[in-house]
């Protein structure tokens, strides 16, 4: 049997033995099968990628649409639209006048310490002095999202669910060199996402219970909020005990740094720049207080929490102490927290918190921008330690011109200074009921006339009434006295 098989396999066909032909045939069949399997698997993968592409792109577009719809649905639409129109109808007229003049924008946004500086500081090639051109964004909501190109969007309609590994990679494993802020509630790192966009990553401190509380407050307060003068929350991370928040990156310092001279290598803020930053801050607070429901009370308005972008627009950051004030509630009772010097007196004394507490803090912030001083400075003489009380004294003594920050090279006009001071003093009124709403503060700052307090308006109204009564009494006296009528006829002959 074996010999017959060997003879059969040893037969020669086409110059090759039969067993050689069989081996070659099996090899060809194996090669064809292997090629077909590889081709089919490659085709399946390409189909998968093609199928995923149209799904992921519309998903991203729909998320952006949801972001806008959430804001509109959460507010009273008619009131919010009216409020927004009022806030923006004169913005182009009352912005930074000097900044909007192209090549001369450097002198408008800040006063250079060295006028003839050349090189990167002069704004060449958009270097470190890249504030030389002012290009305001008229459509902030249509700008490309920093989240564009990131995979696996979370189910939230407003942002992205990051993994701890993503954020470790973005911040170089939370390197000390990446730290850009350090406060009582967390450390802030600068990072770069895989799509190349810079972000600020806030790592909440792991105090038992505290990190979760801060995390929920910030996410609930600003997760769905969209306003060009609010720092945008892009996403978050929850892994184990880690709680991290990812914000848009604002790289032009904060108001405190500009007022204290930490940004003096770029110059000092002009009066127009300060008012623009404060006006944007006021609009953002008005939006939080009056245009969304539940309203948001920030509770920690201060100069270090006002970030400044390249267009010198102010952006409110750090919602770690924010509280939500639901419909029908005029105030809430909470543990007193905030920054010394900015806290409203009624909140400090009783723990009763509402939006008027933010109004008081904004008034202190406005006075800080006018004077360049700390709200409380124990290094100054006793009458000047408390900035608010000192400024009230200076206004009463008619020495308002002396309170302006000496670092402002071109001093404001008397009317502009008076308008800003009276607005600030109304905001820091000890009686919370007499403080204006933030929407009224916006109108005061935009108005060409200085605002009158209630007492001034009442006094002016009483004076007009008394003048009218005197005129009426004089007319009655003349009508009852024939001699006076005769004299009046002689004085005014027909």
Backbone angles phi, psi at 420, to 5 degrees: -65, -40
Per the annotation, does 213 bind a ligand? no
Q: How far apart are CA 419 and CA 168, in angstroms?
A: 48
Q: What would the 3-class secondary structure string for the chain be?
A: CHHHHHHHHHCEECCEEHHHHHHHHHHHHHHHHHHHHHHHHHHHHHHHHHHHHHHHHHHHHHHHHHHHHHHHHHCCHHHHHHHHHHHHCCCCCCCCCCCCCHHHHHHHHEECCCCCCCCHHHCHHHCCCCCCCCCCCCCHHHCCCCCCCCCCCCCCCCCEECCHHHHHHHCCCCCHHHEEEEECCEEEEEEECCCCCEEEEEEECCCCCHHHHHHHHHHHHHCCCCCCCECCEEEEEEECCEEEEEEECCCCCEHHHHHHCCCCCCCEECHHHHHHHHHHHHHHHHHHHHHCCCEEECCCCCHHHEEECCCCCEEECCCCCCEEECCCCCCEECCCCCCCCCCCHHHHHHCEECHHHHHHHHHHHHHHHHHCCCCECCCCCHHHCEHHHHHHHHHHCCCHHHHCCCCCCCCCCHHHHHHHHHHHHHHCCCCHHHCCCHHHHHHHHHCCCCCCCHHHHHHHHHHHHHHHHHHHHHHHHHHHCHHHHHHHHHHCCC
Active site residue 405: no
- Return the closest-CA partner of residue 276 out of 249, 309, 318: 309
Which of these is catalytic: 300, 313, 318, 358? 300
Q: CB burial class (10 A; 0-12, 13-18, 19+) of residue 7?
A: exposed
Q: Active-site residues: which are they?
A: 300
Annotated binding site for ATP: 203
Binding site, annotated residues: 203
């Amino acid at each position: 049997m074996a010999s017959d098989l060997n003879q059969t396999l040893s037969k020669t066909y086409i110059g090759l033995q039969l067993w050689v032909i069989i081996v070659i045939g099996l090899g060809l069949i194996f090669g064809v099968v292997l090629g077909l399997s590889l081709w089919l698997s490659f085709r399946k993968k390409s189909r998968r990628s093609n199928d995923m592409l149209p799904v992921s792109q519309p998903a991203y577009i729909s998320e952006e649409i949801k972001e806008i719809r959430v804001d509109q649905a959460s507010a009273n639409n008619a009131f919010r639209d009216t409020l927004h129109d009022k806030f923006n109808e004169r913005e182009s007229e009352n912005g930074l006048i000097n900044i909007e003049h192209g090549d001369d924008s450097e002198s408008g946004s800040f006063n250079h310490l060295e006028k003839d500086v050349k090189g990167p500081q002069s704004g060449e090639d958009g270097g470190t002095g890249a504030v030389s051109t002012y290009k305001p964004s008229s459509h902030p909501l249509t700008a490309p999202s920093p989240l564009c190109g990131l995979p696996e969007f979370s189910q939230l309609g407003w942002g992205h669910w990051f993994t701890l590994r993503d954020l470790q990679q973005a911040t170089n494993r939370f390197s000390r060199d990446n730290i850009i802020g350090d406060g009582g509630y967390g450390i802030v790192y600068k990072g770069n996402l895989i799509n190349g966009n810079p972000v600020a990553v806030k790592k909440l401190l792991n105090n038992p219970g505290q990190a979760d509380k801060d995390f929920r407050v910030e996410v609930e307060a600003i997760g769905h909020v969209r306003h060009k003068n609010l720092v945008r929350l892009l996403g978050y991370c929850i892994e184990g005990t880690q709680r991290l928040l990812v914000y848009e990156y604002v790289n032009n310092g904060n108001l405190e740094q500009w007022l204290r001279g930490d940004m003096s290598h770029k110059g000092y803020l002009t009066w127009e720049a300060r008012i623009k930053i404060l006006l944007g801050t006021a609009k953002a607070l008005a939006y939080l207080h009056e245009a969304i429901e539940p309203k948001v009370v920030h509770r920690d308005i201060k100069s270090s929490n006002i970030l400044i972008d390249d267009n010198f627009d102010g952006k409110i950051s750090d919602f770690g102490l924010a509280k939500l004030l639901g419909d029908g509630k005029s105030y809430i009772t909470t543990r007193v927290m905030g920054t010394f010097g900015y806290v409203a007196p009624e909140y400090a004394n009783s723990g009763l918190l509402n939006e008027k507490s933010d109004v008081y803090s904004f008034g202190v912030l406005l006075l800080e921008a006018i004077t360049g001083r700390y709200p409380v400075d124990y290094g100054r003489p006793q009458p000047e330690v408390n900035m608010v009380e000192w400024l009230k004294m200076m206004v009463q003594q008619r020495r308002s011109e002396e309170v302006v920050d000496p670092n402002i090279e071109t001093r404001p006009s008397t009317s502009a200074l008076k308008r800003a001071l009276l607005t600030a003093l109304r905001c820091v009124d000890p009686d919370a009921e007499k403080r204006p709403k933030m929407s009224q503060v916006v109108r005061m700052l935009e108005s060409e006339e200085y605002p009158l307090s209630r007492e001034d308006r009442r006094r002016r109204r009483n004076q007009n009434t008394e003048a009218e009564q005197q005129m009426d009494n004089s007319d009655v006296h003349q009508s009852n006295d024939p001699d006076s009528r005769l004299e009046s006829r002689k004085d005014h002959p027909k």
